[in-house]
Amino acid sequence: MLLPYLHEDLVEAGCDEAGRGCLAGSVYAAAVILSKDFKNELLNDSKQLTEKQRYTLREVIEKEALAWAVGVVSSQEIDEINILNASFLAMHRAIDQLTVTPEHLLIDGNRFKSYKDIPHTTVVKGDGKYLSIAAASVLAKTYRDDYMNRLHVEFPCYDWNHNKGYPTKKHRASIAKHGASPYHRMTFNLLGDGQLELFT
C-alpha cells in the first residue's frame, strides 16, 4: 500500500524521471501534487504496471491531480552536463511549471540538487512507496515513451518503439551497423564493449 504523503501539513510534490539509463533521447521528469485524500488501487511504480495501465493512470492523474508538469532535457544537454545533472534539471523544469507551488519535494532516488528554497526528501525506490512519486513515474514514463515512438518513425532502424532507447542487444547492433543518430548520447558507451555502466 503506497503512502499518501510524508508531511500531512505541507503541499508535497512527488518527482521522478524516466530514461536515465538510455543510450538515446531526452531524459524526462515529472512533478505531481496530489490531494491528501487521493486514492487509486492501481497506482504503483510505473515499472510494475503494464503499458495499458500506465496510460489509463495518466488520464486519471492529469484529471485528478492538484497540479502536474513534465520537464525535458535533451540528449545534447545530457552530453554537456552529464546524466545525473540532467536528471536533476529535468525535475527542476517540471517543478518550474507547476501551477501550485509545493512546500516540500519528495524525490525518487538518493540524490537531488536543491530547487530554490523548497525543502526536499530523497526516497530510494520512492515510486513504490509514495503515491505522488508513483504518479510522477507514470507521467515521466508515458510522455517519454510517446517521444521515443515519434523518434522511431524518423529512425526505425534502432527499434526505439520497442526498446525506448535502452541498451538492448538489437539497439547496440543497429548502432554498430548504422552509426549513431543525432539523438544518441555521445558521452555514453554506445556499443557496450561488455561494460554495464549507466544501466539504472
Indicate whether 156 belongs to any domain.
no
Cα Dmax for the chain:
56
Indicate whether 195 belongs to any domain.
no
Q: How far is residue 50's CA from residue 33's CA, in Å, rounded to a whole number?
A: 23
Is 73 in contact with 83 (CB distance < 8 Å)? no
pLDDT value of residue 192: 85
Indicate whether 79 belongs to any domain.
yes
Indicate whether 124 belongs to any domain.
yes
Indicate whether 192 belongs to any domain.
no
Is 18 in contact with 140 (CB distance < 8 Å)? yes
HSE-up (13 A, CA, CB side) for residue 121? 18
* Total structural domains within the chain: 1
143 conformational bin, left if phi > 0, alpha if psi -120 to 50, beta if neither: alpha
Indicate whether 73 belongs to any domain.
yes
Of 20, 33, 22, residue with least CA distance to 90: 20
Q: What percent of the chain has pLDDT over 70?
A: 96
Enclosing domain of residue 136: 12-150
Query: Which portions of the chain are predicted below pLDDT 70?
Result: 194-200
Domain CATH code at residue 108: 3.30.420.10
Indicate whether 161 belongs to any domain.
no
Pairing of strands 27-33, 120-123: unpaired
pLDDT value of residue 1: 85
Neighbours of 128 (CB within 10 A): 17
Indicate whether 102 belongs to any domain.
yes
Q: Which three cell numbers stand for residue 68?
A: 502536474
